[in-house]
A and B are shown apart, each in its own frame.
Chain A
Amino acid sequence: MQVNETFTPTIVAFCCNWCSYAGADLSGTNRLQYPANVKIIRIPCSCRLNPMFILRAFQRGADGVILCGCHPGDCHYTTGNYYARRRMTLLFSLLDFMGIERERTRVEWVSAAEGAKFAATMNDFTQTITRLGPNRRLEDLRCKVE
């Protein structure tokens, strides 16, 4: 895969309303920098993440997808993130098994107080995806928005 120097990856970050979404907010009010190409989608709980959402994100041109939720034990609904953890582990493993590199998918626990962790995570993930190059394997070209 070619690494294009002008390539800016599109990252989709699914963030739990109760923690990571607020964490993203905090990182903004603290004026921490993270790449503008991270598209945040708010979900009510990490457990709300239907695998279809992830595949759709890839279809519409995402180069990497990350799920951010409350730390295990801190779920607003008590146990949602534990189920999400199992599901995403299996799904990402299957995607890797089918050739969608596992570095393109990630799960990270970010609390509402961790603005700095949010920014650092996004910077790191963006770097990883930039290194991997554009996602061509789960992309439906008809839907590509230029």
Chain B
Amino acid sequence: MENRPLEYDYTIAKMFMFTTILLGIVGMLIGVILAFQLAFPGVNLILGEGLAEYTNFSRLRPLHTDAVIFGFTLSGVFATWYYVGQRVLKVSMAESKLLMALGKAHFWLYLVVVVAVVVSLFAGVTTSKEYAEFEWPIDIAVVLVWVIFGMSIFGLIGIRREKSLYISIWYYIATFLGIAMLYLFNNMEIPTILGTSASGESGIGSWYHSVSMYAGTNDALVQWWYGHNAVAFGFTVPIVAMIYYFLPKESGQAIYSYKLSLLSFWGLMFVYLWAGGHHLLYSTVPDWMQTMGSIFSVILILPSWGSAINMLLTMKGEWQQVAASPLIKFMVLGSTFYMFSTLEGPIQAIKSVNAIAHFTDWIVGHVHDGVLGWVGFMIMASLYHMAPRVFKREIYSKSLMATQFWIQTLGVVLYFTSMWIAGITQGMMWRAHDEFGNLAYSFIDTVTVLHPYYAIRGVGGLLYLVGFLMFAYNIYKTMSARPVEEHELQNASPMGA
């Protein structure tokens, strides 16, 4: 016992890998169902009239967004943290009983919250704030999970051997702090039973219901400050943390410029927080705030591209690896999609473009080229890199992985191109008018025109889901593949045929 060499302990990382895959399947399956519901309304009744309450679009939509954001993505963030954190700090979780206990508490409490969220959203219990639908008892549990996550991060940092913090750690810390601040402020709410209405009624509604502490425009401002930064600190910052570790590691190349990575970090932190106003253009928020939202959105291109270009240049002179390794393909395409959606977003934030784009499917297209092409690809690539190392096995099938890559890439392309056409068509039709200012089309005219594009999006989403199932299968089979020697794990992941 005494002489056993110290090893990294991946127990917690494995647990979160499991939820990443499970909740990924659930969330994306619901996404595909939603997509087909929009194309073929009959799908709303898929389980019959009696159960329509549970299967209609409006009941399922928040389940999709919350399952993929707080289920799939966050689990991926936790899984990679419990892997990357130990390695770049050069300290094992096995060295601290406290950290192991915290890690386990983190996982199990998180799972309890997931169950509570799924049950309550299916039951239709919601605060109706997008991405913040959970009622106050769940919010309190969420805060607890987050505090434990923070203790894990800072606990591990506290016992580290490496003095400096690798750039990925900066991004994980920013994720922790950013979401803590956003979540707390946006979810300030008052249980309705504690309130008294204007007419003197008290004890209103169920014990778990609550109303936001903010009202009207203020509520909208706080909500979109939160909503946009949930994209920042959920879909950007931790995913950048992943690529800064996994791409150099898998390719064996040092980051092209470490200084640039530090710079883009501060640039991103500084600019992102001010861009949320672009969700409220032409609304009742002060004009200067809308303008600032637009301007900061455009400036945001710089730090975003700073990281993305840094990653692409890391591959300088090593492009044969992109051809040879499907894992590198995922990451390189991921950073390309990151560049793509961080150019598209600022374009949509320009006021005159937003006048066409707002409320249309173009926004949904933008969301998904980011989350499918960047977030999804990076999380799967990270898990592919981790799998051989945490299970000490060779990846089950390289060709399955390559096939998955092409199927999913096709899926993403079908998704965003159909939504572009649908969105811009919609935007143009809504505003078209004759010489007297009468609207040229009614709403149903747009619905008819959009039908084929909705069907294409459904197919694109289905392809992505199929790819994800291939990923799940590949990881599952990896767990039982042939063991590999330690030294084979230095850089590139060993892959079976």
**A and B: bona fide binding partners:** no
Which residues of A are in contact with B by a Cβ distance under 8 Å? Answer: none
Which residues of B are in contact with A by a Cβ distance under 8 Å? Answer: none
